[in-house]
Chain A
């Protein structure tokens, strides 16, 4: 960060400070100003043992601040972002500073108008979803205009047009969309108002326009994606389904195939006190939809293809995560939750919770078609909707949480995972370098609240992996670099919260049987956190191993790193 920038920032904060404190008294007439910000900065070190090499730019940070103004139905806001350069593992395209997000919005009775940047989602997002995930640095906000019209209770109509954010500029394609939703019970209140069953129907049409400048292919300049959906709710029962169809949309992602795309996403659940059952399934075929057909990574995605597999928060369980395969997949996830009542045999004095979850995902069953002509009829494959293709992922998870006394509580968890790593994470058939991985993972997490407001948490995890690769020979020193076979891991963590403001964490992950002996190293980590109201500051030091983080169906690789990090976030 240059000194010039710091002084500019200081100056702007000073202005806000003066502005805010002098107007605090009369803010009711002038409206209110609010915002939030977060700074994550790191000073990296070269650490040859874990292959961490930050290059010459050792100080990196991600920072943003939002300032919003509201008065009655009028809202306006800006977000300043700065990355010089971004932290390791984020897309290097984000390098720089600027104001990529600014908007003005006016809501009055049945009308809601936004100009500038906005986020939006139609249905489950399979036709359109513009959203942000600041932690993952995913932001495909639209820049344009949107109108939401509610002519009658239970009817919502949305129309929008805009270009998507691409780092600090905009995508070349234009996105236009329309969505309508009708809640039958609200609209036909007089006839259906007393019905216990609620039915909501919705439909959307999204199209993108991008000029064809390809010298060899004749590409569609307008691509439409239409979707229809239904939600049925009765008592504890919920059912949701959405079908989408996209016309041919050759892109870098689908290897310029002219095949149309289809998607079916459905989920059903039943819940009652102490018991729930849920199943989510999907079939996606060539549904990647981007406002720039040549885009790669996690940019310019118009729609969202959700992944239903269990979202893991324990680090070793999330070591080899699954992510939606944008070119096609079929599969589902089921989950059962049960609460053993207080006083029952297994429940004991405080009850016991159990969650069982499982998933299985496969590729779609494709039949290759020899291209008739590479320019006009390049379908590349057809799909057998009755079958499934290669296995991508499966898992089985069981989690038990039990409170033993007012002071002591524990969680135990077991997971069995299979990952077709070469396809899911590296998009290559090369199983030599990226073998299939089957793993057994166990977690024990104990919390001891030794006095009111003070606690110690202890967590230990074990990852036992087997890697299905063909013969690999190591040299005598065991130095052959097979980066994707790391053997098994064990970890331990202690977190001490002496009071509601402070927390101190120390942790170690040990790669105890890496096939390469010199890589059997400890990944130590320490952190001090301070929280006061909406403000949180943390300082940490240690090693972070390489890993995969996933968002919106696309994964990003985070390299190993070592060093000092600081994180500050707050809102006002």
Chain B
């Protein structure tokens, strides 16, 4: 147990150093659109405005809670900041058929893609869903957050507003 603690603290120290490496471009991976055609993640753009990239799955309750919570304020937030949300489903053949029905029934107006082979998930180093990223107007990934607890979307909105004003973010 002691060794484990040493190891974990070493990792956390390293991590804080790695924070400096934030600010990379969106990596390239092939994802599927809901109309069945494919596209590359490196082409995600929002004309100089911030973007939210959210990894989710139809079987993931917290993911859907998060996307629902964002959806309630989304129209206003778009108006205010010009933000765009890109929802990446990691559903496999078992449930990928449910992605389109879930999106429609929930009335989400997000840009939705399916990452069936999880190439984009790996490229973005996502361990577990939900995992949400913020991309600034220059297309650099500047913030990320794993898991969802009730009210987490408030922090996300705050960060989106900061980004829209060109301010720096902190975790």
Q: Is B166 at the interface (CB under 8 A from chain A)? A: no
Cα separation A39 to B105 with both chains bound (whole Å): 37
Within A15-54, the residues touching B (CB, 8 Å) are 16-17, 20-21, 24, 27, 32-39, 41, 43
Interface size class of B (residues with CB under 8 A): 35 or more
- B75 sits at the interface (CB 8 A): no
Q: Given A33-B21, A200-B36, A233-B35, do A531 and B147 touch, yes or no (CB 8 Å)?
A: yes
- Among residues 45 to 95 in chain B, which have CB atoms less than 8 Å away from a CB atom of chain A? 58-61, 92-95
> Would you give the shortest CB distance from A313 to chain B, in whole angstroms?
5
Q: Would you call A546 an interface residue if the criterion is a C-beta within 8 Å of the partner chain's C-beta atoms? A: no
Q: CB distance B97 to A267 under 8 Å?
A: yes
Residue in B1, B104, B126, B144 with the greatest tally of chain A CB atoms within 10 Å: B104
How far does the Cβ of A503 sit from chain B's closest Cβ, in whole Å? 6
Note all chain A residues with C-beta closer than 8 A to B95: 308, 311
In contact, A536 and B147 (Cβ under 8 angstroms): yes
CB distance from B83 to the nearest CB of A (A): 19
Chain A proximity of B116: nearest CB distance (Å) = 6
Is A535 at the interface (CB under 8 A from chain B)? Answer: yes
Provided the pairs A278-B97, A337-B105 are in contact, do residues A572 and B28 lie with their beta carbons within 8 angstroms? no
* Residue B101 is within 8 A (CB to CB) of chain A in the complex: yes
Say yes or no for A380: interface residue by CB 8 A criterion. no
Interface bin, chain A: 35 or more
Q: Which residues of A contact B15 (CB under 8 A)?
A: 535, 570, 572
> Is A304 on the interface with B (CB-CB < 8 A)?
yes
**Minimum CB–CB distance for A123 against chain B, Å:** 8
Q: Establish whether residues A276 and B7, one from each chain, have CB atoms under 8 Å apart when the complex forms.
A: no
Residue of B nearest to A43 (CB): B1
* Residue contact B14 to A119, C-beta cutoff 8 Å: no
Chain A residue numbers with a CB within 8 Å of B107 are 273-274, 339
Query: Which of A6-14, A92-100, A482-490, A517-525 forms part of the interface with chain B?
Result: A6-14
Interface pair B104/A236, CB less than 8 Å apart: yes
Residues of chain A within 8 A of B100, CB atoms compared: 236, 238, 269, 271
**Is A515 an interface residue when CB atoms closer than 8 A count as contact?**
no
Task: Contact check, A240 vs B97: say whether CB atoms are below 8 A apart.
Answer: yes
Question: Which A residue sits closest to B27, measured CB to CB?
Answer: A70
CB-contact partner of A9 in B1, B7, B122, under 8 A:
B7
Report the bound CA distance from A368 to B11 in whole Å: 59
Can you name the residue of chain A whose Cβ is closest to the Cβ of B145? A533
Name the interface residues of A83-136: CB closer than 8 Å to any CB of B.
107, 119-121, 124-125, 129, 131-132, 134-135
Interface of A is mostly: strand
Partner among B14, B118, B150 whose Cβ is within 8 Å of the Cβ of A131: B118
Known: A311-B59, A533-B143. A233 touches B7 (CB 8 A): no
Residues of B within 8 A of A13 (CB): 10-11, 14
Question: Which residues from chain A contact B119 at a C-beta distance below 8 Å?
Answer: 119
Q: Is the CB of B101 within 8 A of A535?
A: no
Name the contact of A453 in the complex, choosing from B7, B8, B102, B154 (C-beta under 8 A). Answer: B154
Contacts A6-B3, A119-B117, A449-B151; is A36 near B125 (CB within 8 Å)?
yes
Given contacts A307-B94, A311-B59, contact A571 B126 (CB under 8 A): yes
Q: Whole-angstrom distance from the CB of A359 to the nearest CB of chain B?
A: 12
A534 at the A/B interface (Cβ < 8 Å)? yes
A251 within 8 A of B: no
For window 133-171 of B, CB contacts with A under 8 Å fall at: 143-147, 149-152, 154-155, 171
Among B4, B8, B151, contact of A497 (Cβ-Cβ < 8 Å): B151
Complex formed: what's the CA distance from A419 to B1 in Å? 41
Whole-angstrom distance between the Cβ of B134 and the nearest chain A Cβ? 11
Q: Which of A228-273 contact B (CB under 8 A)?
A: 231, 233, 236, 238, 240, 265, 267, 269-273
Contacts of B117 in A (CB 8 A): 119-121, 131
**A532 CB–B CB distance under 8 Å:** yes
B99–chain A nearest beta-carbon distance, Å: 10
* A452 and B20 contact, CB distance less than 8 A: no
**A183 within 8 Å of B (CB atoms):** yes
Interface residue ranges of B109-134 to A (CB < 8 Å): 116-119, 122-128, 131
- Do B125 and A455 touch (CB < 8 A)? no
Q: Which of A217-236 contact B (CB under 8 A)?
A: 231, 233, 236
Instruction: For A1, give its contact among B4, B58, B125 (CB under 8 Å).
Output: B4
Q: What are the residues of chain A within 8 A of B151 when measuring CB–CB? A: 449, 452-455, 497, 500
Which residue of chain B is the closest to A503 with respect to CB atoms?
Answer: B149
**1/0 per position for A327-361, CB-CB distance to B under 8 A?**
00000000101110000000000000100000000
With the chains together, A286 CA to B144 CA distance in Å?
44
Q: By the criterion CB–CB under 8 Å, are B28 and A107 in contact?
A: yes
Q: Report B-chain residues with C-beta under 8 Å of the C-beta of A107.
A: 28
Kindly list chain B residues whose C-beta atoms are within 8 Å of the C-beta of A278.
Answer: 97-98, 101
Chain B hits for A70, CB < 8 A: 27, 123
Q: Tell whether, in the assembled complex, residue B105 and residue A276 are in contact, meaning their CB atoms are under 8 Å apart.
A: yes
Interface hub of B21, B58, B61, B150 (most chain A Cβ within 10 A): B150
Q: Give the complex CA separation of A61 and B3 in angstroms.
A: 12
Which residues 533-572 of A sit at the B interface, judged by CB distance below 8 A? 533-537, 566, 568-572
**B104 adjacent to A276 (CB under 8 Å):** yes
Is the CB of A412 closer than 8 A to any CB of chain B?
Answer: no
Give the distance to chain A from B10, nearest Cβ to Cβ, in Å: 5
Q: How far is the CB of B138 from chain A (nearest CB, A)?
A: 13
- Please give, as numbers and ranges, the residues of chain A lying within 8 Å of B28 by CB-CB distance: 73, 107
Contacts of B27 in A (CB 8 A): 70, 75
Contact status of A41 and B11, CB under 8 A, knowing A120-B117, A274-B105, A308-B94: no
Q: Quick check: B36 and A125 within 8 Å, CB to CB?
A: no
Instruction: List residues of chain B with CB within 8 A of the CB of A500.
Output: 149, 151-152, 154-155
Point out the residues of chain A lying under 8 angstroms from B105, CB to CB: 271-276, 337-339, 353
28 contacts between A and B (CB under 8 A): A1-B7, A3-B3, A6-B3, A16-B14, A17-B13, A20-B21, A21-B17, A36-B126, A39-B4, A39-B11, A41-B4, A119-B118, A121-B93, A125-B93, A131-B117, A132-B118, A154-B37, A156-B38, A236-B100, A308-B95, A313-B60, A338-B105, A339-B105, A453-B154, A529-B147, A534-B144, A571-B146, A572-B125
Apart from A20-B20, A233-B35, A335-B101, 4 more pairs, CB < 8 Å:
A32-B24, A36-B125, A135-B128, A306-B93
Residues of B at under 8 Å CB distance from A? 1, 3-4, 6-8, 10-15, 17-21, 24, 27-28, 34-38, 58-61, 92-95, 97-98, 100-107, 116-119, 122-128, 131, 143-147, 149-152, 154-155, 171
